[in-house]
């Protein structure tokens, strides 16, 4: 069965309009957010996940350090603490990288037109900045732990408790995990707000 010429033209026009609308809508969505922001957001998420993974590894290692200390084995406890400090150094490097990505996100935030998406972004950035802040305390506690164990290994006296310092480090790890979870939730709200504005 053959369609009349005018029907074919109408169908072609409708198809062109629909395709044009879809393309325009997708371009509107993609240009609503600066590419620099989107790239920094994705990198920030990857870096945050790495920080959380390393922090959890350190927390597990510190549980072992505590066991070794209680068993009267400061040499092995100190040796494992040195490994922990190497991981902590990597965490600090990742925190610096995260800081750079946050700067990029903040500088590109004006490209976000949706007030809800902008608010969610601010919440995510705030939580990720809190992660960096907690990592500073975390690093200080790890240095304290190394000093205490070093003093014990060399026979010196140090009244500070290894288990108390480890508890302080674990509290910072818990805080880092919490802030990361909140940042992820804020980014999910960001994406939902962008979709709602489509």
For 155-192, how does the pLDDT look when each residue is reduced to its tens digit (9 = 90+)?
A: 777 777 888 888 888 898 899 889 889 988 998 998 88
Give the residue-averaged pLDDT of 142-153: 78
CB 179, CB 131: distance < 8 Å: yes
Q: Compute the mean pLDDT over every residue in the chain, rounded to the nearest whole number.
A: 80
In angstroms, the CA 161 to CA 157 distance is: 11
CB 135 within 8 A of CB 95: yes
Q: Would you state the pLDDT for residue 32?
A: 61
Q: What pLDDT does residue 21 have? A: 46
Mean pLDDT of 4-20: 51
Of 114 and 1, the structure prediction assigns the larger pLDDT to 114
- 69-94 pLDDT, tens digit each: 889 888 888 888 888 888 888 888 88
Is 29's pLDDT higher than 70?
Answer: no
pTM of the model: 0.72
């Amino acid at each position: 069965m053959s369609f009349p010429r005018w029907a074919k033209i109408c169908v072609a026009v409708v198809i062109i309009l629909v395709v044009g609308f879809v393309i325009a809508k997708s371009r509107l969505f993609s240009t609503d957010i600066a590419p620099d922001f989107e790239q920094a957001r994705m990198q920030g998420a990857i870096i945050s996940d790495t920080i959380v993974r390393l922090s959890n590894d350190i927390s597990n290692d510190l549980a072992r350090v505590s066991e070794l200390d209680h068993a009267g084995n400061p040499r092995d406890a100190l040796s494992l603490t040195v490994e922990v400090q190497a991981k902590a150094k990597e965490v600090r490097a990742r925190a610096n990288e995260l800081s750079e990505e946050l700067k990029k996100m903040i500088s590109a935030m004006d490209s976000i037109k949706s007030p809800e998406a902008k608010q969610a972004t601010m919440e995510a950035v705030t939580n990720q900045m809190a992660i960096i802040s907690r990592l500073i305390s975390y690093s200080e506690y790890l240095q304290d732990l190394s000093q205490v164990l070093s003093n014990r290994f060399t026979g010196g006296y140090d009244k500070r408790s290894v288990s108390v310092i480890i508890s302080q480090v674990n509290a910072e790890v818990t805080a880092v995990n919490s802030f990361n979870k909140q940042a992820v939730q804020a980014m999910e709200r960001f994406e939902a707000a962008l979709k709602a504005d489509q």
